[in-house]
Amino acid sequence: MKPREVADFVLQERDRIADPDEISTLEKTEAAQQLLLGDWDPPIIRKSRTPPQSLPWIGYEFTCQGDGCKGHAMMCIDWEIQELYRKYGRQGFDKVRQKAMELAGSGKDSLFIVGTTWRFKTWMIIGLFYPPRAN
């Protein structure tokens, strides 16, 4: 998707996994992986893995090419953006915002690669493609 205008890159609080069905699904997935892996991945190693870091909702506010678009706010789970947030965190969010806006900024011919989650069908930016603007 090609945004017409990228207004901002924002941070919002969000709840982590709170749905009991979602937690149950994660536990079932781990149990199935352990069953499939058998001796290749002993439980003691699996339990010692570092859990993923909880991140807030970070994403772009933009307008799309559609006539009469009143704007969208879409979470961005692009690897580069997520790692940038992990590096600077909440205290350095201004640096994260500056880089994110630079990647999707006016000097680039930026595209948002979008997708949905399997369960909630919520659209999100899963990647950015930002070649230099053609003259």
| Per-residue pLDDT tens digits for 72-113 | 999 999 999 999 999 998 999 999 999 999 988 767 788 999
* Residue-range definition of the domain harbouring residue 29: 17-53
Is there a domain that residue 134 lies in? Answer: no
Is there a domain that residue 118 lies in? Answer: yes
108 and 48 within one domain: no
**Average pLDDT taken over every residue of the chain:** 80
Residues comprising the chain, all counted: 135
Question: Above 60 in pLDDT, residue 116?
Answer: yes
64 and 43 within one domain: no
Amino acid letter, residue 132: P
66 and 91 within one domain: yes
User: Is the pTM value of this prediction over 0.75?
Assistant: no
Is there a domain that residue 41 lies in? Answer: yes
36 and 78 within one domain: no
- Cα dist from 22 to 19, 25, 60, 125, whole Å: 5, 5, 26, 22
31 and 11 within one domain: no
9 and 44 within one domain: no
As for how many domains the chain has, the answer is 2
- Answer for the pair 61, 73: CB distance below 8 angstroms, yes or no: yes
